[in-house]
Amino acid sequence: MSRFLRFSISLLNTFVLLSLPQISFSLQDVAEETCILEESDGTCHGVASQKVKLLTLAPMTYDLGKGEETYHAYITPDISAFYKKFKGSLEIIAPKFNGQAAKFINMSPEILKLMWDPGNGDAPALIAETNPFTAAGAGTFPGHQFFFVSDDNEKIRYRFVVDSSTNIYVYDSYASPNEENEIRLKELKKTAANYYRWYRLWKDSLLFSWQYKQVTGRDYLSRFPRDPPMHHMWAADYFGQTHVVQTNETHFSSLPPEPMLQRELPHEGETDKQVCK
C-alpha cells in the first residue's frame, strides 16, 4: 500500500539549502493570498492576492581563463520572501551574536601552524597544523587575530585580522609578482608537480570565489570545483512550506504482536541468507 508522508520546512532546512548551492530547482510562480494589514494579535484586516516567486538558483557566468562557463548560485532573496510577504515589507534585524566562519589557506610548500593570538599578552593558541597547500577552518569573531607560523615556531609567515565581510584568508608565498617568485614557481612545477597542481587549483578556486562573491555577496567556502551533492535536497523556499512524499514502505503506528517479531529460523537445508530473501 502506498502512503503519503508530509513534512514542513523548518529554519534548519532553510540553512541546509543555502549551504549547498549546486542543487537546481525550477522557478515557479504560485498564487498566494497575503495579509497586508496585520495586528499584533494576528488579526488580519486586509488580504491581497499576489504571485509569490519561489526561490531558486540563478545562473551566473564565470571565467577561469578558459572562456565563460555557467554555474547556478543561490541568490539571497528579500527577507519577506521567506514569509510570503510583499517585497520590502520586512526588514532584516542583525543578530546580537556576530560570530562567523573563517577559512585559512596555506598556499606554500611548507607545513605551517595556524595560531590564534588573544591580543592581550597571553600565549597564542594552536588552532591547526596545515600541510602544504591545504586549509583549516575556525569559528571566530570580527577583530580576532590569527597567524601562520613555521612548524618550528621560529618564523611568522603571515598575520590575519578577521573582518565581518570576509570569510577566506590566504597566505600565498608566491603572491608577489616578482622574478624570484616566478623562478620559485617554475622550480615547484619541475620538482614537485603535485604541489604545483594544488597551487593552481587554489588559484582557480579563489578566482571563482571572487566572481561568486560579486554575484551573491558571499565568499565561496568550499574549494571549486566541488562534486554536486549525491542526494536530493528538498526546496526550502519559505517557512511552513510542505512537501508530500509517496512511499511503498509500510508505516506502523504500533509494534506488531510479539510472535511476529521473532527471528525466523531456517528450515533444514536452508541458510540464513535464503530465509532473508
C-alpha cell at 275: 530465509
| Contact status, residue 171 vs residue 113, Cβ threshold 8 Å | no
Task: Give me the mean pLDDT over the 211-234 stretch.
Answer: 89
Domains present along the chain, CATH in parentheses? 7-93 (no CATH), 100-216 (2.60.40)
Closest CA to 107 of 142, 141, 136: 136
Please measure the distance between the N-terminal and C-terminal CA atoms of the chain and give it in whole angstroms.
20
pLDDT at residue 51 greater than cutoff 60: no
pLDDT-derived band at 41, boundaries 50, 70, 90: low
The CA distance from 84 to 205, in Å, is: 35
Task: Give me the mean pLDDT over the 249-270 stretch.
Answer: 74
C-alpha cell at 67: 572562456
Q: Please report the pLDDT score of residue 272 as a whole number.
A: 53
pLDDT-derived band at 7, boundaries 50, 70, 90: very low
C-alpha cell at 103: 577559512
Task: Give me the mean pLDDT over the 254-270 stretch.
Answer: 74
The CA distance from 240 to 121, in Å, is: 50
Q: Cell 594544488 sits at which residue?
A: 198
- Greatest Cα pair distance, the chain, in angstroms, is 81
Closest CA to 127 of 169, 190, 86: 169
pLDDT at residue 37 greater than cutoff 50: no
Q: At how many degrees (to 10) do helices 193-216 and 179-191 cross?
A: 120
Task: Please enumerate in sequence order all residues whose Cβ is within 8 A of that of 131, keeping only pairs 6 or more positions apart, or say none.
Answer: 106, 111
Q: Please report the pLDDT score of residue 237 as a whole number.
A: 85
In three-state secondary structure terms, 16 is helix
The CA distance from 134 to 117, in Å, is: 21
The CA distance from 13 to 236, in Å, is: 6
The string of DSSP codes covering 80-117 is: GGGGT--TTSS-----S---EEEEEEEESSS-EEEEEE
Q: For residue range 156-192, what is the model confidence (pLDDT) as tens digits?
A: 999 999 999 999 999 999 998 899 999 999 999 999 9
Closest CA to 110 of 151, 170, 160: 151
C-alpha cell at 170: 590566504
Question: For 146, what's the count of Cα atoms within 13 Å in the CB-facing half-sphere?
Answer: 29
C-alpha cell at 224: 571549486
Helix residue ranges per DSSP H, the chain:
11-18, 179-191, 193-216, 272-276
